[in-house]
Structure 1
Amino acid sequence: MQGKEEALMSLTMTIVMLISGWLAVAAAMLWGVLRITRRHHHHPVQSAPLAKTDKPPVHHATAH
């Protein structure tokens, strides 16, 4: 089999391609998560001021 050369990728190039592919996937996932969180961010809504009462308003803890 003389004259027939195989085109093999070097080990260094293989490692570089694996790392760059992993970074591309990680960046795409991060971009997607940031896009979703920015889209679903709820801004606090200020309600109309209530009439003055003797007791201060009670604020319940929220899980959000």
Structure 2
Amino acid sequence: MSLTMAILMLVGMWLSVAAAMLWGVLRIVRRHSHHHRPPLVPAKPQPVRRPRRPAGVH
């Protein structure tokens, strides 16, 4: 095996490992990004309910 061929194989292996690691990281990021959705806003806000006071009490 010539020196040029060995260097090209090392570079090719390095590129394949780097691509596999990038693919794995992007896969993990895409999987975990779906869980962080903003909370849904209710269509109509509910009125504030105050406790009732008995009649005659001020």
Could you state the TM-score of these two structures normalised by the residue count of structure 2? 0.65
1:51: how far off?
5.1
Q: Name the count of aligned residue pairs.
A: 45
Which of 2, 15, 18 is 1:23 aligned to? 15
Cα deviations by residue, 1:16-60 (Å, 9 ceiling, x for unpaired): 0000000000000000000000000022222325458xxxxxxxx
Matched, 1:43 2:28: no
Aligned to 2:55: none
Query: Any stretches of 5+ residues in structure 2 without a counterpart?
Result: 48-58
Q: Secondary structure at the match of 2:40?
A: coil
Runs of 4 or more above 3 Å deviation: 49-52
Report the identity percentage. Answer: 61
TM-score where L is the length of structure 1: 0.59
- Indicate the structure (1 or 2) with the bigger Cα radius of gyration: 2
Cα RMSD (Å) of the superposition? 2.0
